[in-house]
Chains A and B, each alone.
Chain A
Amino acid sequence: MSDQLGGGRLIILGTFLIGLALSQLPIPDGFAWYRPEWVALILIYWVLVLPHRVGLLSAFALGLLLDLIRGSVLGLNALSLLIITYLTLLLYKRLRMFPLWQQSMMVMVLIGINQLLFFWMQSMTGTTGTGLMFLMPSLVSACLWPWLYVILHGVRRTFRIE
């Protein structure tokens, strides 16, 4: 089955597309701060389980798309996603040994770094506000990680993506 689907390349692409769609789904004003970083989460999963297939190049492309969605300067999200992908590539052997809750902690740190970098660079282009609410998505994403891991693991098993 995996041969027919180009080794599941389409499936991986599909999960990323769903992530991109979720990350621009309109939600009520007050909840905007609690939107999980879908793309970063899905990216971390695929880098964690298939580091030889999903890596820096995918991170860069996804980052550019996110930049277009958020209307930020091209390359800001690309850079922050590149950095957390690099960190995940350094850590993936250890991360795989961790139980899910411990992975969540690491995911929180990784997404926190992503948020910090992105909003720090945003503030350089003059578009930002005050407060630390922008770190909220890292907490929400960490809470979502176990469920996302289980779902994507199921997807990977079903389509035998290696």
Chain B
Amino acid sequence: MKDGRVYLSLLITPLQWLVDLPSRGADRLSDVVVDRATLVRDNERLRTESLELQRKAQLMAALTEENRQLRGLLNARERIEAQVTMAELIGINPDPFLHEVIINRGFEEGLYAGQPVLDAGGVMGQIISLTHYTSRVMLVTDARTAIPVEVNRNGFRSIALGRGVLGELELSHVPDTADIQEGDLLLTSGLGGRFPRGYPVAVVSEVIRDPGRPFTLVKATPSARLDRSRHLLVVDYRRPDAERVLDEAEWRHE
């Protein structure tokens, strides 16, 4: 039955390409029709940006090596380097209740359901269904999604829930005494086994401590540009033991 849906979806894939054509055309047009001054300015900006990034990359190499040695000392397993696939957004779900986008890569390129999707700013969401050439990404703000996070400053763990409102996440069950404040960066904690550890998810925008409520209300703004990003990264993150852990959990549940 699920395969049937995949094959039926091939019917609308050309339609999705067609609908995306004008915006892709506009993109290309603005690439072609651009005055020299803008190009020079862009070039200048990109060069400084590249220099800055190169400097960071140099530091990064040293840090990675140090980290590896420290992990070696602690007998910890080495982190897996993630593989990424570039993808481009070709559509969004017209249903306003659902926060889903459609990207132009499917299982022909080796994607799989549950795969995390990032943009330049941070975590966008995860793939929930695929066809041969397209896949559907559920954004982190969708009301059906939850993502395990930790505060970058002190490692406090929590779960960020989507609320169906674009640009807003909510942390669930944060105790009143938790050390969390406005401006804290939330990273993926990697605990769910779905998202790799250490990617930015959101920045805490509001902390409401109301004595009448059992928990602190914490709201956060996603750091990915959910409604604007066109170029996305699909991370291949298959923890070798993830399946085993899941199996064990299911077994315990039964």
Contacts and interface: CB of A to CB of B under 8 A. Distances in A.
A129 interface: yes
Given A21-B18, A25-B19, A129-B143, A65 B164 contact: no
Contacts of A126: 144
A24 B94 contact: yes
A5 interface: no
B166 interface: yes
B97 A134 contact: yes
Contacts of B92: 26
Interface residues of A, number: 27
Nearest to B131: A68
A133 interface: yes
Interface stretch (A70-78, A81-89, A139-147, A152-160): A70-78
Interface string B1-37: 0000100110110011011000100000000000000
A17 B15 contact: yes
Contacts of B19: 21, 24-26
Given A32-B94, A70-B95, A126-B144, A24 B16 contact: yes
Contacts of B16: 24
A127 B91 contact: no
Given A71-B136, A129-B143, A122 B91 contact: no
Nearest to B101: A26
Contacts, number: 63
**Chain A contact residues: over half helix, strand or loop, or mixed?**
helix
Size bracket, chain B contacts: 20 to 34
A127 B144 contact: yes
Contacts of B18: 21
A128 B97 contact: yes
B93 interface: yes
Contacts of A127: 97-98, 143-144
A23 B15 contact: no
A62 B11 CA distance: 12
Nearest to A130: B164
A21 B91 CA distance: 11
A26 B101 CA distance: 10
Interface in A77-135: 119, 122, 126-129, 133-134
Given A26-B23, A127-B97, 6 more contacts: A20-B15, A25-B19, A68-B8, A71-B129, A122-B97, A133-B96
17 contacts: A17-B15, A21-B18, A24-B15, A24-B94, A25-B19, A26-B92, A29-B166, A35-B94, A68-B5, A68-B11, A68-B12, A71-B93, A71-B129, A119-B97, A127-B97, A128-B97, A133-B96
User: Which 8 pairs across A and B sit closest by C-beta, in order of nearness?
Assistant: A32-B96, A129-B97, A70-B95, A129-B164, A68-B12, A26-B92, A24-B94, A68-B9
